[in-house]
Amino acid sequence: MTIQDKASQLADYIRSLPSFSIVTEIDGNYNHLGATIADAVLQANMRYETHVRPRISRIRREFPEAATMSGLKKTLKDRSASDILNWEGEDRARRFLEIVDLLFSEDVETEDDLRRWLKDDANLSKLAKIQGIGLKTIDYFKILTGIQTCAIDRRLLDFLKQAGLKVSGYDEAKSIINLTADIMDVKRAYFDHSIWKHIGGGNQPACN
């Protein structure tokens, strides 16, 4: 089967599900660079509603100056990454700082800058060199900045299996889901989250 055939099959499967609904809003587009980086760092293997969203809301509320890179760097002189994230584990704090350092070196000052930066494939390879940043997190970064795509995790793969579809890997799964969104005339990021919600993502931790 071609990607087109599989996308058409997935669209037909979704239309057969009376309980499937398209979400009308998603997290992201914070216009706050610190919050965007924090969301991308915290979301993997965490319950979003209880562990991530409250922390992102706090960052936006308590660190408004961290909306830009220059403000974020100033904030990090007074507060540790762990303090900003309200997270005790060292791995996510380290990852947060490595992303900040990379984007600073790339002259990314605002979330708009980050959106443009993420559209260059050469930049994605730089981001992928950071330990703990995989394909899913890179695509999730895109979604957070308003780029229309999906971020493939276990639940989206499970959904494809439920639809009777076999995929060769991340890239094929991404192509099928994005094309299905186009066929159904739904924004790709919203389609991604609709599947995630339908499969039970609201009650389960996210995963890479």
For residue 62, give the CATH number of its domain: 1.10.340
Q: Are 152 and 192 in contact (CB under 8 A)?
A: no
Q: What angle do CA 153, 89, 157 make, to 5 degrees?
A: 5
Give me the domain span that covers residue 18: 3-26+149-203
**Residues 77, 22 within the same domain:** no
The answer as to whether 81 is a domain residue is: yes
**Residues 8, 44 within the same domain:** no
- The whole-number pLDDT of residue 45 equals 77
**CA–CA gap between residue 9 and residue 131 (Å, rounded):** 36
Domain end, chosen from 116, 144, 172, is at 144
**Residues 86, 139 within the same domain:** yes
> What would the pLDDT profile of 106-142 be if each residue is shown by its tens digit?
999 999 999 999 999 999 999 999 999 999 999 999 9
The answer as to whether 208 is a domain residue is: no
Q: pTM for this one?
A: 0.91
Give the total number of structural domains in the chain: 2
Which residue would you say has higher pLDDT here, 159 or 207?
159
**Residues 103, 164 within the same domain:** no
The answer as to whether 129 is a domain residue is: yes
**Residues 131, 42 within the same domain:** yes
Which token pair is 34?
Answer: 């610190």
- The whole-number pLDDT of residue 37 equals 98
Residue recorded with tokens 């947060």: 96
